[in-house]
Amino acid sequence: MNVDQTADPAELSALREAFASGGAPLGWDAVRAFEAQHGIVLPEPYRTCVAEMSDGCEQGPPDFGLIPLAELPRDWGAGRAERQLALPFPLTEKWIWDTDEDLDPNEGVPSSVFDHGSIVLGTDGCGMYWHLIVTGPQRGHVWWISGEGAYPFSGDGSSGDGSGFAAWVKHWADGKPW
């Protein structure tokens, strides 16, 4: 996984193949405007993918497709707080809400888990979302977040280099189950 600002040519090649029939790219000017608006720099290779290859793809990943950069899934819900992408994503390891003794069940899951430091890549429905972390220690990693918990993606069942956007797309493109 590449968390600096240099896109790996092999990852870009695999993404071009995976999104060959995806939506139109957003373009560099629009990507830079989004970043300036939110006070972030998107992690590579997602940044180059959105700018040059595809800003969304109906065929996936995930189950309902990769959503465009500036959008949220239809099932995101109205009335949520404004997303704060420049604030750090609060987690560094998986978290299961109902086993957290410090979490007040009347208050629910802290909104920061859903709304700080990540962009939403898409949904698997029923309130299950895939996020790309854009700020904080998990920058560049993909996470699955739902009302039950949050888990870092890893194509090999562990955490590490297999948890970035390119590995997540490859996992989907190879037809592997989530």
Domain boundaries along the sequence of the chain: 9-173
Q: In what order do the strands lie in the sheet with 95-96?
A: 95-96, 149-152, 142-145, 128-133, 118-125
What's the average model confidence in pLDDT over 124-130?
Answer: 89
Q: Please choose, from the candidates 15, 12, 70, the residue with its C-alpha nearest in 3D space to the C-alpha of residue 37.
A: 70
In the prediction, which pLDDT does 59 show? Answer: 81
Q: Is the pLDDT of residue 138 over 90?
A: yes
In the prediction, which pLDDT does 10 show? Answer: 94
In the prediction, which pLDDT does 163 show? Answer: 87
What's the average model confidence in pLDDT over 78-98?
Answer: 87
Q: Is the pLDDT of residue 131 over 80?
A: yes
What's the average model confidence in pLDDT over 87-105?
Answer: 78
Confidence of residue 77 (pLDDT cuts 50, 70, 90): confident
> What is the rounded CA–CA span in Å between residue 136 and residue 131?
13
What's the average model confidence in pLDDT over 68-83?
Answer: 85
128 against 29, higher pLDDT: 29
In the prediction, which pLDDT does 109 show? Answer: 61
Q: Would the pTM count as exceeding 0.85? A: yes
DSSP track, 16-80: HHHTTTS-----HHHHHHHHHHHT--PPTTHHHIIIII-S-BTT-SSTT-BPPTT---GGG-TTP
